[in-house]
Structure formats: C-alpha cells, structure tokens
Amino acid sequence: MAALNLHKSFDLWQQALALIPGGSQTMSKRAKNFAYGAYPIYVDHAKGAHVWDVDGNEYIDYVMALGPVTLGYRYPCVDQAIRDQLEKGIVFGLLSPIEVEAARELVDAIPCAERVRFLKSGAEATSAAVRIARAFTGRQKVASCGYHGWHDQWSAGRNDGGIPEILKDYTIGFAFNDASSAEKVFAAHPGEIAAAIITPTGRGGPDPGYLEALRKLTSKHGALLIFDEIVTGFRLARGGAQEYFGVVPDLACFAKGMANGMPVAAVVGRRDVMQKAENLVISTTYGGEALSLAALVAACREYRTKPVFKAIWQRADQIASGIDAAAQRHGFGKVCDSLSPMATMQLTSANHPDADPQEMWFYVLQECASRGVLLRRGGCLFVTYSHSEEDAQKTVAVVDEVLRDLRTHLEKGDLARELRKCDEDQADDIRART
Ligand SMILES: Cc1ncc(COP(=O)(O)O)c(C=O)c1O
C-alpha cells in the first residue's frame, strides 16, 4: 500500500522535540511507540470513531485517546453540556451545583460508591485512595497489582530516577490471578498493609473466584480492597468491573470513560472510609472544574438511558472475533486477549516463532494506517458507542489483508525491506519519501 503523506506531522514532531522533552505529554502517545516513519503523529480533528490527521488523512481510531472516549468523539449531548456550562463559567471560587449533580450520578451508577471526591487524573485518584486507606487503617504499606499512574509510590519499584528509594518498601507488588501471591504479601507484613489495590481485569480478565478470594483476604487482614477502575469503569458496565464481576471493593478509582474525554477522575467508596477524606489534604484548585463535571453528568445520563455498554460489547466482540478469525486463517493463531471492550492484540514469537515481533508490529501498524485504521502496539483496542457496523467490517477486512500480506513477506523473508522505518532525526528522509 502506498505511503501516507505525513509531512505536517513530521514537521510538527521536529518542532516538538526542540520544545517539549520527549515530545509529548503522555509517554504512550510518543511517535516512537507506533510505527515511526509510517504512522501519523498529530491529529487535527475527530468525529465519532474517526480522526483526521494534520495532513488530511482519515482513520477509524482504536487508540481512542487511550480509553477516555466511551461514547465517541464530539458526542452531541456531551459537547452541548460543555457549551452550556461554558456560558456560565469554567471554575469558581465558590462551589458549583454541578459538583452535587455529578456526585449523585456516580453514587447511582457504582456499587461501592456511597461518597465521592473529584480529582483530575487517574494517578491523583489512586494516590488519594491509598492516602484515605492509610488514614482509615492507621497502617502504612500497600499491596499493589497493575499500573496505577506516574506518582512516586507507583513508580518506586522500577525507579528510573527522581523517587526516594525508601518508598519502594511501602508499595509491595503481587501477581494477578494468583491469590497465594497476595497472601504472601499479607503474611510477610503482618498488620502493616492498609489496602490491596488492583486493576480488576489484569491483562486477560480474572479467573473465576479470584476477585472474591481477594475480597475475603483483605477483610480477613483488616485491610481495604481498592479497585483501580480507571480503564474498566464505564467500559465493561455502567458500574465498572465491580458490577460486571459482582465483587464490591471498599474504595474504587475512576477516570477514563466517565466524562467522554474531559479530564476528571474520582475516588469513591464506603461512607465510613471515605469520610476520612474530610480532614486529609486531598485538594486541588481544579477539582470542581465545571466543564468536565457537566460532561460527566451528560455522559452518565446517556449511560443510564441508552444501551451503551451492551452495544460496545457487541461491536467489540465482532471486531475481536473477526481479527482472531483472520489471524487464524493466516497462521498466526489467536491474537486478541482480554475482555473484548478492552481487547488487546498481541503479536509475539508465539504467533510466529521465526519473526521479530517488533517488525511484525511495525508492518501491521504501518499497513493498517495506510488503509485507514489506527491500531496500537500491544495496547487495548478501544471500541466506542460510535464505532459502526461499517467501521467494524472495514477494520476486520483491513486486518485480514494486512495479516495475509505479513504472512507472505515472512515466508519470502523480505519483511524488513517493507518497513518504512526511520530514526527520529530523519524527518527529511521521510519528507523525501512521501
Ligand atoms: C489502570 C490505570 N490506572 C491508572 C492510570 C493513570 O491514569 P492517568 O494517566 O489519568 O493518571 C492509568 C492510565 O493509563 C491506568 O490505565
């Protein structure tokens, strides 16, 4: 397939690298994480499930801002709610009534939510949740499974600089889907663990009984159970993974999906536990920012009155099973794992023992993008309420064709020659080629 014209994207990226360390505000959105040289970098605008890059190319999007857009880009009633609130003001020195309305929506939707505090990012919500848990239990350590954001306590284990070493002793990791792993953490730190925090789906979904076992274990040790529902919330079900799996934690953190892309997060939970937040310094100037809360109320109303999550499951099942069938047809085996609304496509040496997974991914991203479909290397395929039947059919057809050609190039041994790869400083080469 012909190379895309990406001149404006590469011009902007060169300027960004000179102004913004790393070039982006979110690590996962950096150009090198996709297929640098053959994949768009900058979006101009979006509508529904489609984005248009700055060079005018149109794509069906599955990267979807990394998860916060549940209904689709520029969803009319959410955007109207933002415009209506804009007429009144963005943020005030006194409180805004929309804070009460938004809190009521979350209490109505989420099983564990009796009280609510709003914040701005997922990491803020997970940090607030563990502070509340420490204050409630009088204990200092936290058992943790999964990614919970960039703040010090979550990054201390891998510490690539800038984090006090001592913090790693306060956040102790445990393995997903292995109840004995969490048990060992409690046994090694008797009476010291304030809470276990977990992303309830892990990568592939919990084994039957696993979340129930964690629920029992935390209660037995007088610790709290915290669900990080930043991806699962308003995606698996209106009430998140806790509704979907029927296991209710003491506290939970929500962000993506709650306001169809507007920046708002929440820590929610049991009345007695959350009441601790009254006297803790969990406070930000923008916590009650009204445009995001107006978007949240409008999105939550839509979740309450339309079959949003049923439709997302159906469309996501259609896409993941279509991709799997194509992959099997072309000899790659099953490539999609996890629950389909957050299906993750894998291409590893298990899919083709003789191929370099990096090269296979580069080819798939490059060729899908040039056919108008944006995927993400090893990341969730985020399907929204706006992905249509036509989008799904086109996506499956594109992936089918690309995997068929990938197979041919692997057999001929000429895959490396097909990759329009280049280094980040080779923008001129890209301009010459496209
Ligand atoms: C499960 C989970 N928790 C927490 C976070 C952090 O959220 P944020 O990037 O909004 O701080 C993320 C971000 O991707 C996430 O996937």
Which residue ranges have their beta carbon within 6 Å of ligand 1?
66, 121-123, 126, 146-149, 199, 228, 230-231, 255
Same domain? 233 vs 299: yes
User: Is 413 part of any domain?
Assistant: yes
Could you tell me the CATH number of the domain that includes residue 429?
3.90.1150.10
What is d(CA 257, CA 230) in angstroms, rounded to the nearest whole number?
Answer: 8
pLDDT per residue over 199-232, tens digit each?
999 888 999 999 999 999 999 999 999 999 999 9
Residue 371 scores a pLDDT above 80? yes
The whole-number pLDDT of residue 2 equals 86
Element (H, E) at 370: helix 357-370
Residue predicted with more confidence, 330 or 348: 330
The CA-CA-CA angle for residues 259, 134, 164, to 5°, reads 90
User: Is 39 part of any domain?
Assistant: yes
User: Is 1 part of any domain?
Assistant: no
Same domain? 396 vs 313: yes
Same domain? 12 vs 122: no
Burial class (CB in 10 A: 0-12, 13-18, 19+), 133: buried
Residue predicted with more confidence, 351 or 13: 13
Same domain? 262 vs 361: no
Nearest to 294 by CA among 128, 110, 121, 91: 91
What is d(CA 303, CA 53) in angstroms, rounded to the nearest whole number?
Answer: 29
Same domain? 32 vs 46: yes
Q: What percent of the chain lies above the pLDDT cut of 70?
A: 97
Q: What is the mean pLDDT of residues 147-158?
A: 92
Q: Ligand 1 center to residue 333 CA distance, Å?
A: 30
Could you tell me the CATH number of the domain that includes residue 256?
3.40.640.10
Nearest residue by C-alpha to atom 4 in ligand 1: 148
User: Is 259 part of any domain?
Assistant: yes
What is d(CA 176, CA 178) in angstroms, rounded to the nearest whole number?
Answer: 5
Pocket perturbation via mutation, ligand 1, pick of 25, 63, 124, 148 by most ligand atoms within 8 A of CB? 148
pLDDT per residue over 294-310, tens digit each?
999 999 999 999 999 99
The CA-CA-CA angle for residues 201, 205, 210, to 5°, reads 85
Nearest residue by C-alpha to atom 3 in ligand 1: 148
Nearest to 403 by CA among 320, 343, 331, 334: 331
Q: Which residues are 70's β-sheet partners?
A: none
What is d(CA 403, CA 400) in angstroms, rounded to the nearest whole number?
Answer: 5
The whole-number pLDDT of residue 158 equals 85
Q: Which of 256, 290, 305 is the last residue of a domain?
A: 305
The whole-number pLDDT of residue 340 equals 92
Q: What is the mean pLDDT of residues 365-379?
A: 95
What is d(CA 311, CA 403) in angstroms, rounded to the nearest whole number?
Answer: 27
Q: Which of 305, 324, 350 is the last residue of a domain?
A: 305
Same domain? 94 vs 155: yes
Same domain? 335 vs 193: no
User: Is 279 part of any domain?
Assistant: yes
Q: Ligand 1 center to residue 415 CA distance, Å?
A: 35
Residue 432 scores a pLDDT above 60? no
Q: What percent of the chain lies above the pLDDT cut of 90?
A: 90
The whole-number pLDDT of residue 1 equals 83
How many domains does the chain divide into? Answer: 2
In this structure, what token pair is assigned to residue 71? 């209904």
Same domain? 53 vs 80: no
Same domain? 350 vs 389: yes
Residue 433 scores a pLDDT above 90? no
Q: Strand pairing of 193-198 and 58-61? A: unpaired
Pocket perturbation via mutation, ligand 1, pick of 27, 231, 253, 258 by most ligand atoms within 8 A of CB? 231
Pocket perturbation via mutation, ligand 1, pick of 151, 230, 251, 286 by most ligand atoms within 8 A of CB? 230
Residue 411 scores a pLDDT above 70? yes
Whole domain around residue 313: which residue ranges? 7-68+308-433
What is d(CA 371, CA 58) in angstroms, rounded to the nearest whole number?
Answer: 9
Q: Are 338 and 204 in contact (CB under 8 A)?
A: yes
User: Is 2 part of any domain?
Assistant: no
The whole-number pLDDT of residue 425 equals 57
Nearest residue by C-alpha to atom 8 in ligand 1: 122
The whole-number pLDDT of residue 422 equals 75
Return the ligand 1 atom nearest residue 232 CA. 1
Same domain? 46 vs 148: no
Q: Which of 305, 338, 366 is the last residue of a domain?
A: 305
Its pTM stands at 0.95
The whole-number pLDDT of residue 218 equals 98
Same domain? 63 vs 154: no
Residue 359 scores a pLDDT above 60? yes
Same domain? 399 vs 316: yes
Residue predicted with more confidence, 424 or 58: 58
Residue 374 binned pLDDT confidence (cut-offs 50, 70, 90): very high
Average pLDDT, the chain: 95
User: Is 124 part of any domain?
Assistant: yes
The whole-number pLDDT of residue 159 equals 85
The whole-number pLDDT of residue 40 equals 97
The whole-number pLDDT of residue 306 equals 98
User: Is 374 part of any domain?
Assistant: yes
In this structure, what token pair is assigned to residue 335? 């490539």
